[in-house]
Structure 1
Amino acid sequence: MTTVTAEQLATARGCVLGLMLGDAVGATGGRVPAAGPLRATSAGQLACFTVDGLIRAHVRHRHRGICHPPSVVWESYRGWAAIQGIPGFEVSGEGHWPAGWLTQVPALAERRGSAPATVAALQRRKIGTIDDPNGTSTGAHALTRTLPVGLYPCDAAEMAALTHAGDAVGAAGLAGAVVRLLAAGGQLVAALESVVRDPGDWSETAERSLAPALAAAGSGPAALRELTRLAPDARAVSALAGGVYAVACFPGRETVREALSFAASAGDGGHAATVAGALLGTAHGPDALPVDWLSRMELAWTADTLARDLVTELHDSPSGGEYFPPTDPYWRTRYPG
């Protein structure tokens, strides 16, 4: 018998599906074709492996009593690099590494744009931390791939610091805080304003992203000029500012399509749309996402399965633990910890 509530399930599914839909819509630049699949980019692929790593980390904690979640997520990213065929991460001859079901999804093995900072960090084989970051990149992937961390009892900034630095780490920390408030039942604009008032260690990043985005949204209707000013490039702070501006201009569940299309027109590589999709999905649940788009999304089943499994692991621990037996004998094969 599950202890997962309908609200918890809807929040997680909305977050992950919204992220992946925003990623796919962002890749079109806001010009979604009338037919055909909506494909993920490398940002969406990496977000899937973030969720995989979070589930594995929780499994490891249940069975070993101690775990460092960023290290487990790092291992999941190494699995992504292996199936991508990136030099230095070859799949083992016996097929035992990388393990887990996610590495068997064909679309995740296809090259969908570059992730140079993440790849370079993985190839350096150095796990970055907030105090000792891996590299100097402030690119948007640090933010977009870590948005689901807000659903988990861990700091998204730590996950971003694995491969990025500076404002990118701060942007991830701020977005993770917003997702956490939304997952706890907060309202979208109220959650954004709360994080602006209390940004923790990331006050400077908030002043360069969240605060101006909310101020712009409060000064008038959505304007492409404002969006491109807030999100002029592919940095994480641009993605956060552009995504927040879009959702603050179109906060309702009935305007998700408009929010995603608007965010995707920023010209920042689609990252603002990814942020907007994750925030709107977390706030309103999967039923608010446009069905005609969602049904064409290439990784819809993958994303939905990961979201469901994350909530199930956090609340039911199907692989068991030191003091209780498993309810799913195959769970640790799916998510080896």
Structure 2
Amino acid sequence: MTKVTAEQLATARGCALGLMLGDAIGAAGGEVPAAGPLPATSAGQLACFTIDGLIRAHVRHRHRGICHPPSVVWESYRRWATIQGIPGFQVGGESGSPLGWLVEVPALAQRRGSAPATVAALRRRRIGTVDDPNGTSAGAHALTRSLPVSLYPCEPAEIAALTHAGDAVAAAGLGGAVVRLLAAGQPLVEALESVRLGAGDWSEASERSLAPALAAARSGPATLRELSRLAPDERAVSALAGGVYAVACFPGRRTVREALLFAASAGDGGHAVTVAGALLGTAHGPDALPVDWLSRLELAWTADTLARDMVTELQDSPSGGEYYPPTDPCWRTRYPG
């Protein structure tokens, strides 16, 4: 019998699907077409490979007794680079490790914008850490791809630091802290305020993202001018500020569509709406996301499967372990650890 609860599934699915939906709406510049598929960008693709790496890390720990999740996620990013056809990356990686099912998803092999900081870090072949990050980029990909990490026993900042540095790592830590509180059942605005007040080591980044965004939301109705001021570029702190401002202005379950369209108006390359989608999905679950958009989302099935499988792996460990037989004999083929 499964240990997975409906609440756990709703939280994980909402986070993953909301993130992918925000990513797709951002790619459309907020001008969502009336028909046709809503494609992902490289940000959504990397978020998928992040979840894949987390599941593999847990499988590895169950069967080998020791694991470093960021290193496993790093290998997942290398698989993304491989199927993207980026020169310098081999199928199976240098270790010849199994690939799993995610590399068979056609949309994940499509070039959907660039991820220069991630690719450059992967080419340096050095895994960054929070104390010694990889590279100098403060770009938003470090934040957006790391938001689901808070649903797993790992710190989002550790995943961000694999390829980014500075404010990007701090923004990932702050955004992840919000997701963790939402997953625990804290109301959206209350969770945002709690993280702002308890920013700790990331207080400087919080003062440039959470604090001004929440202050602006309290001061009056949402305005595009304020959104543009908060999220003027593609840095992680801008994406966090813009996403937080949008959800603080439109925190309710019935205003998700309005929040996403508003966030997509930021001048940050579509990253603020990705943040907003992940936060709103985590807070309200997948049923709150607009069905007419969700049904056309290119990576909906992929994201939903990954979210379900992450919860299942954490609660049920279908591949078994040293003292437990597998309940799904194909699990380790899908997620080789």
TM-score by length of 2: 0.98
Secondary structure in 1 aligned to 2:127? coil
Q: Over aligned residues, Cα RMSD in angstroms?
A: 1.0
Partner of 1:58: 58
Partner of 1:241: 241
Contact 1:43–1:145 (CA<8 Å) still a contact in 2? yes
Contact 2:130–2:157 (CA<8 Å) still a contact in 1? yes
Contact 2:11–2:282 (CA<8 Å) still a contact in 1? yes
Partner of 1:115: 115
Tell me how far apart the structure 1 counterparts of residues 278 and 258 of structure 2 sit (CA, whole Å): 15
Contact 2:83–2:103 (CA<8 Å) still a contact in 1? yes
Contact 2:232–2:266 (CA<8 Å) still a contact in 1? yes
Contact 2:234–2:271 (CA<8 Å) still a contact in 1? yes
Secondary structure in 2 aligned to 1:322? coil
Tell me how far apart the structure 1 counterparts of residues 336 and 202 of structure 2 sit (CA, whole Å): 34
Partner of 1:153: 153
Tell me how far apart the structure 2 counterparts of residues 97 and 89 of structure 1 sit (CA, whole Å): 13
Tell me how far apart the structure 2 counterparts of residues 182 and 235 of structure 1 sit (CA, whole Å): 24
Partner of 2:258: 258
Tell me how far apart the structure 1 counterparts of residues 98 and 291 of structure 2 sit (CA, whole Å): 33
Q: Which amino acid aligns with 2:252?
A: G
1:100 aligned to 2:84?
no
Partner of 1:268: 268
1:43 aligned to 2:54?
no
Cα deviation, 1:201-223, whole Å, max 9, x if unaligned, reads: 10111111001000000000010
Once the 2 structures are TM-superposed, how far is the Cα of residue 91 of structure 1 from its aligned partner? 2.1
Once the 2 structures are TM-superposed, how far is the Cα of residue 267 of structure 1 from its aligned partner? 1.9
Once the 2 structures are TM-superposed, how far is the Cα of residue 323 of structure 1 from its aligned partner? 1.2
Tell me how far apart the structure 1 counterparts of residues 199 and 69 of structure 2 sit (CA, whole Å): 23
Partner of 1:29: 29
Partner of 1:177: 177
Cα deviation, 1:278-320, whole Å, max 9, x if unaligned, reads: 0000000000000000000001000000000000000000000
Secondary structure in 2 aligned to 1:73? helix
Partner of 1:318: 318
Secondary structure in 2 aligned to 1:318? coil
The runs of 4+ residues in structure 1 deviating greater than 3 Å are none
Count of residues in correspondence between the two structures = 335
Tell me how far apart the structure 2 counterparts of residues 326 and 153 of structure 1 sit (CA, whole Å): 22
Once the 2 structures are TM-superposed, how far is the Cα of residue 322 of structure 1 from its aligned partner? 1.1
Over the matched positions of the two proteins, sequence identity in percent amounts to 85
Contact 1:91–1:98 (CA<8 Å) still a contact in 2? no
Contact 1:47–1:146 (CA<8 Å) still a contact in 2? yes
Q: Which amino acid aligns with 1:257?
A: R
Unaligned runs of 5+ in 1: none
Tell me how far apart the structure 2 counterparts of residues 98 and 331 of structure 1 sit (CA, whole Å): 13
Tell me how far apart the structure 2 counterparts of residues 175 and 270 of structure 1 sit (CA, whole Å): 16
Unaligned runs of 5+ in 2: none
Q: Which amino acid aligns with 2:135?
A: G
Contact 2:227–2:242 (CA<8 Å) still a contact in 1? yes
Once the 2 structures are TM-superposed, how far is the Cα of residue 131 of structure 1 from its aligned partner? 1.0
Partner of 2:199: 199
Contact 2:98–2:336 (CA<8 Å) still a contact in 1? no
Once the 2 structures are TM-superposed, how far is the Cα of residue 200 of structure 1 from its aligned partner? 2.5
Secondary structure in 2 aligned to 1:74? helix
Tell me how far apart the structure 2 counterparts of residues 267 and 25 of structure 1 sit (CA, whole Å): 13
Contact 2:246–2:262 (CA<8 Å) still a contact in 1? yes
Contact 1:160–1:168 (CA<8 Å) still a contact in 2? yes
Tell me how far apart the structure 2 counterparts of residues 92 and 244 of structure 1 sit (CA, whole Å): 38
